[in-house]
Structures are given as C-alpha cells and as structure tokens.
C-alpha cells in the first residue's frame, strides 16, 4: 500500500468529495479560524475519518514545498493505471472519447494545471509516460485544484506503444507543434480523439510526433512563438468541445 499527503484546501476538498474511502486521516492546524478548514473538518468527521489538530510546523513538514493552508490529508494512493486500460476507457467513452496525452511534462505546476483543464473538459483520461515526467506529487495535486481526483491518469511504460493502442481502439491522434502550417481550428476534432502535447522546451519527441495522424498549431498573431503547455492544453481541449457542441 502506498500513501501520500494531500495538502491545501482545494485538493483535500477534492479527495473528500471524490475518493473519501482512501482518506485515512485529516490534520488541521491548531487554532485555525479558516471557515473552509472547519467545513472540511466537519465533512471528515461525518465520513468517520479521524481528525487531529496539529501545530503548524508539523503540517509544514508534511507539506514540504507545497502550501497547506492549515489542512492535510493522509491518502492511500490507488494503483497506477497502465496502457492495458486504454482500450476499455476508449470503448466506454464511445464517440465522445477525448484523451489528453502529455509527452514529458516535468513541471508539477504545469501538470496540475493540465489536469485541472482536463477535469473541466471531462476528458476520458490523461496519458503520461511513466518515466521522464512528473508524477502525482502534492504540488501537482494542489495545482490541479481537485482535478487530479476527477480524471483518470494513465502512466504508460512505453508512450509510443500507448499511442498505437489508442489508434487501434479507433482514436485519432492530433499532435500540437509550432512548426507546421496546419491550423488546429481547421481540423475536425469530433469523434474519438487524443490531443498530444509535448513537454516544456523540447515539445513532442520524434516517435510521439510520428505516431500522430495530424500535427497542427494554435495560430498566434502576436509576437510570441509558443504557449505554455498548460495554456495550450486548455485552448486545444476547449476547441474540441466547441466543435462537439459540448462547451455550454
């Protein structure tokens, strides 16, 4: 059994709302007068989850680099999802399947922001490589504002193979890159789809790009040549939703 600490009001709120059976205990800062922390305390007690008041320095140690806002939850992490689950995920989602593939995002704030956008867009699953990418750290969970508990995260041992699995399941792969003339807005993004984005700096790796059915760019009339990966993720996901008539 693997455990981690979820820290911060929104991440803890998400865990209690979406996966309370895995929350083992709640720590709240002694003397806290934050009404949202008090709400979480009452919610945990109603769920029969042990609650303990602790000095601030103890929460600081638990949180590490993340900001805890006076609350932390000890959480039993579920076993990671693997490539083998992709066909079933695609089949359950049917024509509305929408995957997000992130090739090597290493910044926890970026991954958290991508998960937040993915949850808002009701993405079928987010696929990341098992290695050379950041995992579900406390900082990622905090940055996701609860999104990490709402969307399945698949850690692929071999990303190129995972992309082939998606293609075999009838999912079209659209990669995003700045060095192509094809506009994302000119593509048909309806039907089973995976949007594929590269990590910070290098973008998609060669094998990842070669696996894509189409490679497109987000048109930018301004002076900037590229967008942060989390911003590009939001733009691409909600363009797909707009085309599907599901963004209202």
How would DSSP label each residue in 183-202? BGGGS---SSEEEEEEBTTT
Strand 2-7 and strand 71-77: pairing?
antiparallel
pLDDT tens per residue across span 180-225? 999 999 999 999 999 999 987 778 999 999 999 999 999 987 766 6
pLDDT band for 235, please (50, 70, 90 cuts): very high
Please check the confidence at residue 246 and state whether its pLDDT lies above 70: no
- What integer pLDDT is reported at residue 115 of this predicted model? 95
- What integer pLDDT is reported at residue 1 of this predicted model? 54
pLDDT band for 227, please (50, 70, 90 cuts): confident
> DSSP character for 146?
T
Identify the residue with better confidence: 104 or 146: 104
On whether the pTM is more than 0.85, the answer is no
Identify the residue with better confidence: 78 or 178: 178
- What integer pLDDT is reported at residue 200 of this predicted model? 77
Residue 140, C-beta contacts closer than 8 angstroms, at least 6 positions apart: 108, 109, 111, 112, 115, 134, 148
Average pLDDT over the chain reads: 90
Q: How far apart are the first and last CA of the chain?
A: 41
Report d(CA 143, CA 160) in Å as an integer.
27
Report d(CA 149, CA 206) in Å as an integer.
31
DSSP H helical ranges for the chain: 9-18, 35-46, 56-63, 86-93, 108-120, 138-144, 159-168, 206-211, 229-244
pLDDT tens per residue across span 122-131? 999 999 998 8
Report d(CA 107, CA 208) in Å as an integer.
19
pLDDT band for 67, please (50, 70, 90 cuts): confident
């Amino acid at each position: 059994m693997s455990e981690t600490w979820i820290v911060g009001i929104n991440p803890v709120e998400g865990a209690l709302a979406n996966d309370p059976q895995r929350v083992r205990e709640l720590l709240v800062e002694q003397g806290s007068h934050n009404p949202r922390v008090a709400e979480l305390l009452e919610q945990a007690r109603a769920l029969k989850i042990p609650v303990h008041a602790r000095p601030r320095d103890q929460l600081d140690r638990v949180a590490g680099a993340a900001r805890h806002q006076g609350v932390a939850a000890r959480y039993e992490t579920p076993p990671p999802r693997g490539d083998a689950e992709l066909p079933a995920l695609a089949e359950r989602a049917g024509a509305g399947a929408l995957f997000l593939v992130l090739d090597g995002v290493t910044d926890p704030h970026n991954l958290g922001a991508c998960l937040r956008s993915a949850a808002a867009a009701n993405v079928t699953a987010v696929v990341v490589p098992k290695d050379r990418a950041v995992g579900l750290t406390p900082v990622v969970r905090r940055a996701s504002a609860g999104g990490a508990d709402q969307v399945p995260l698949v850690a692929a041992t071999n990303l190129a193979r995972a992309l082939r699995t998606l293609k075999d399941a009838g999912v079209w792969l659209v990669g995003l890159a700045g060095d192509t003339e094809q506009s994302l807005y000119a593509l048909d993004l309806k039907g089973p789809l995976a949007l594929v984005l590269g990590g910070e700096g290098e973008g998609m790796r060669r094998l990842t790009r070669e696996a894509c059915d189409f490679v497109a760019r987000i048109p930018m009339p301004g002076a900037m040549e590229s967008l942060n990966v989390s911003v590009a993720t939001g733009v691409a996901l909600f363009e797909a939703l707009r085309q599907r008539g599901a963004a209202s």
